[in-house]
Structure 1
């Protein structure tokens, strides 16, 4: 299937959550996936849901080696020979024993804090604080539009805030409600890991980051990587919206606050 691509930068969050993460991005001349954290069949199904096919995807960019971000990396690389896979050296080394054989011609390095060009799209990588080998996320730039993906980090540094400031759209982590996590049945070491500087952003922390970085260009905010055990969609959305409204941010007026699902694609929209 080859579908005509409209002008502009178009995005769909195919899946976001603690069980799997995949984001699709396209321009008139390029089609990218960020992460492949579901089975190959599930990703193919979600692509079909937005009338797209993996046969047309040019590159897969991996953020880090955790299963919910790299589960189908090897499977997709072997199934789709046109698919080039990009990750930094630490991530390649960490996921190599878990993804099976990937053809050398499909393997590419994408170092942290660098920019690479994919057709008419420029992608900027930036390091984050997470308990993975060498985690990094991406800011996607196309003709004056920017889409930032930032999940799986215990905190956001001033440097990263500077890199991602005033993007047109964000997929940003709001992983857990702190009280739900503390009162839940996770082990204490796991709770400490999630709450720590190399863990995940809470709903409140995600809202704080958004209020620091969004600007007059920002029109769409996707709340992502929500925990199935320590969060609820309604609570996540209400917490972020309330905090932002209390600081006079124009939720629903100046920008849209959008929910994401573990295995349900958001509509393919043009920024």
Structure 2
């Protein structure tokens, strides 16, 4: 008898590289591969999985911390690659040669079924060609990925609300970023509506989106230079508690790592 729900692991999350793994009875999928093929292989090994078993890679956008290893993996293992048309155009020349049979279109704002998994794409506000993230759904369970956005609109909240688990961006602490060594133009880009969520804004998005189904919140895409893991975690927990949400009992907050996979978890 087929198992209900699905399994997932956040293989890596951070400004240096991002990749997410999900599996059902019928499909094994990566979202992004922003590290070397060798590093992705070692991260998969941490959860006892192999790259040759991956059916597809979904792309969120063309920035290198999301696509660095895609070309190598696609050529070596032959998996299908999905992205929207503007993202494919923006990736031209960045991935190397990929067989036309492996290239697939996943348009913004649609729900696509791969095997026994339904995947809804939705737009975010980021300085990329056409960035999109995903809500994964099976057997009345869902997981939402939402990073790389300068803000979270009411429209986005309506799409992602009341998921069982979230990967939400906690990219930077505003004071650390402002005092840090980045150029003024880069600081402005990160702080803009097409940049990244700070710790407080990530927490605010969760307050607006989570529901009675929500059991797990993972903090993702932390900047090595402009954040501290403990500070990001404390900000999220404190803001949720101040909003009278039962953090620690109804649901838990978890950290992610740029170089170590989270344990394979069933939702």
TM-score (norm 1): 0.97
Q: Aligned equivalents of 1:198 and 1:7: distance in 2? A: 37
Preserved CA contact (<8 Å) 1:7 1:28: no
Q: Displacement, 1:246?
A: 1.2
Counterpart position of 1:134: 130
The correspondence of residues 216-235 of structure 1 with structure 2, limited to 5 A, is 216-235=212-231
Q: Which residue of structure 1 lines up, in the alignment, with residue 151 of structure 2?
A: 155
Cα deviation digits, residues 197-223 of structure 1 (max 9, x gap): 000000000000000000000001000
Which residue of 82, 85, 89 corresponds with 1:86?
82
Q: Does 1:60 align with 2:31?
A: no
| 1:11 equivalent in structure 2 | 8
Aligned pair partner of 1:213 in 206, 209, 215: 209
2:179 to 183, 206, 228: 183
**Counterpart for residue 35 of structure 1:** 32
Distance between the aligned counterparts of 1:30 and 1:98, measured in 2? 27
Unaligned stretches of 5+ in structure 2? none
Aligned length: 266
**Equivalent residue for 1:72?**
69
Indicate the residue corresponding to 1:107 in structure 2: 103
Report how far residue 8 of structure 1 moved: 2.5
CA distance in 2, matches of 1:46, 1:29: 21
2:252 is aligned to 256
**Which aligned segments of 4 or more residues in structure 1 are displaced greater than 2 angstroms?**
5-8
Pairwise CA distance, 1:111: 0.4
Q: TM-score, normalised by structure 2?
A: 0.98
1:104-142 CA-to-partner distances (Å, cap 9, x unmatched) read: 000000000001111000100001100001100000001
Cα RMSD, aligned residues only: 0.9
Give yes or no for contact 1:10–1:25 (8 Å, CA) kept in 2.
yes
Q: Which runs of 5+ in 1 are unaligned?
A: none
Inter-partner Cα distance in structure 2 for 1:128 and 1:64: 10
